[in-house]
């Protein structure tokens, strides 16, 4: 299974910063094409500019969220069709920061994923437990509930990706042990096999303080099929280092 390394820029950057970052990543990619799929997800205002730079580069463009509706009176929102119109192939949905900051439920995430899939996007559906939930030993139960409620019935290995991000490891520098990551990804794989068409082939990304120094080890874990990268995706050297780590694990 070909790994996917996705950069989630979150609410960071400027037009100048985006231009420089994309130019650097493109230059590295042109010199050494890696056997992994690369994806950049900048903030909405920069999608057109980044998309223009990425044309013909072999690097995909993605959004960070979308609305459930195709159009209408939804001030400030963006539809999946609009993302497609800008050249996006993917969209991140249900990130813990959306679930927390905007009180997004798993039911809403499933509706967004259905809309994204219907528009032709690949939905990257995020799941993950808090530190309190892990300390209580509830991580498997929490993630299972999120997958059951967040993944729409029409999700397949071709139109959806799962991203496991332990909430307590996002941007904190904390990282689960390799054993913890392996156990959770095996758990998720089992759930996908039971519930999703082609679930055995659906990519499961790991996210949560992924760095060049730990990428190869994490990407080599069974059932880890790539990374959803946050802060490290804002530096070309770090993002590329993670992609190289994923390439090493691919053989």
Which residues are designated catalytic? Answer: 95, 165
DSSP conformation class of 175: -
Q: State both tokens at 31.
A: 């010199």
Region of residue 41 (phi > 0: left; psi between -120 and 50: alpha; otherwise: beta): beta
Q: How many helices (H) and strands (E) does the chain have?
A: 10, 8
Q: Say how far apart CA 150 and CA 155 lie, in whole Å.
A: 10
Strand partners, 156: 197
- Judge whether 27 and 59 are in contact, CB under 8 Å: no
């Amino acid at each position: 299974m070909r790994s996917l390394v996705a950069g989630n820029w979150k609410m960071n950057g400027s037009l100048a910063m985006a231009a420089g970052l994309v130019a650097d990543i493109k230059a590295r990619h042109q010199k050494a094409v890696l056997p992994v799929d690369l994806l950049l997800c900048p903030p909405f205002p920069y999608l057109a500019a980044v998309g223009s730079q990425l044309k013909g580069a072999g690097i995909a463009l993605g959004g960070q969220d979308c609305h459930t509706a195709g159009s209408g009176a939804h001030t400030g929102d963006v539809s999946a069709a609009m993302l497609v119109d800008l050249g996006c192939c993917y969209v991140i949905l249900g990130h813990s920061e959306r679930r927390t900051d905007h009180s997004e439920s798993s039911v809403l995430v499933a509706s967004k994923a259905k809309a994204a899939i219907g528009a032709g996007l690949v939905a990257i559906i995020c799941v993950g437990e808090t530190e309190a939930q892990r300390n209580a030993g509830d991580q498997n139960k929490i993630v299972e509930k999120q997958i059951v409620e967040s993944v729409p019935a029409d999700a397949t290995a071709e139109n959806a990706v799962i991203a496991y991000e332990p909430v307590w490891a996002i941007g904190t520098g904390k990282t689960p042990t390799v054993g913890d990551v392996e156990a959770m990804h095996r758990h998720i794989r089992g759930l996908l096999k039971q519930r999703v068409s082609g679930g055995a082939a659906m990519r499961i990304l790991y996210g949560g303080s992924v760095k060049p120094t730990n990428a190869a080890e994490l990407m080599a874990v069974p059932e880890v099929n790539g990374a959803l990268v946050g802060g490290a995706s804002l530096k070309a050297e770090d993002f590329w280092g993670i992609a190289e780590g994923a390439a090493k694990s691919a053989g």
